A and B are shown apart, each in its own frame.
Chain A
Amino acid sequence: NAGVTQTPKFRVLKTGQSMTLLCAQDMNHEYMYWYRQDPGMGLRLIHYSVGEGTTAKGEVPDGYNVSRLKKQNFLLGLESAAPSQTSVYFCASSYWTINTGELFFGEGSRLTVL
């Protein structure tokens, strides 16, 4: 059981380049999330999805786009990368009900923008 898988694990970009991070989960979870983790800032929610075909903005959505065309996949795109987007990105998923909601995380994608 793979759980939550993120690709790629590492990437270096030049300012202005674009890229897509892929998150895949095999737990049939409805909810999926993209977070970024920065020193001194903790984890901050970028975008999330409550089901296939839906997406919504989180706390820090600017400069990112997402898509959830299939239930098991959640893509995070950077159209024009900036040095401020250098971070570690985490995808997470959950099978949500009000009384459960345990979150499962991927191992992270480390992005450096030069």
Chain B
Amino acid sequence: KQEVTQIPAALSVPEGENLVLNCSFTDSAIYNLQWFRQDPGKGLTSLLLIQSSQREQTSGRLNASLDKSSGRSTLYIAASQPGDSATYLCAVTIIQGAQKLVFGQGTRLTINP
């Protein structure tokens, strides 16, 4: 059974710092990996999607990497801002009859001004 783990569960850093969020998964048979952002009381917003054949994706100050063989992904946030404060979730897409996503429990990020 695929399991997705995100460590740490919470992270607090000063504004302006570069930071890395971690995601690990137990089964390398994935189709893609997505990083989402969730603000309190809101739904999830897709940030980056990495196909299984790719190593990384970039969007603005965000860079996500994927190492399928080791079952790891990282989300790098450059020059963090208070507006980056949110919960970040990763999810892998697997095939079990149909395409399904398996989510980690998220990292709650706080950027302190």
Contacts and interface: CB of A to CB of B under 8 A. Distances in A.
A45 B101 contact: yes
A64 interface: no
B99 A31 contact: yes
Contact of A101 (B31, B36, B44): B31
Q: DSSP class of B's interface residues: helix, strand, loop or mixed?
A: strand
Say which size band chain A's interface belongs to.
Answer: 20 to 34
B100 A103 contact: no
Interface in A49-106: 50, 56, 58, 90, 92, 96, 98-106
Contact of A107 (B43, B99, B103): B43
Interface stretch (B19-27, B45-53, B75-83): B45-53
B32 A101 contact: yes
Interface in B6-45: 31-32, 34, 36, 41-45
Contacts of B36: 103, 105
Contacts of A96: 99
Interface of A: 4, 31, 33, 40-45, 48, 50, 56, 58, 90, 92, 96, 98-108
Interface of B: 31-32, 34, 36, 41-46, 49, 51, 89, 91, 93, 97-101, 103-106
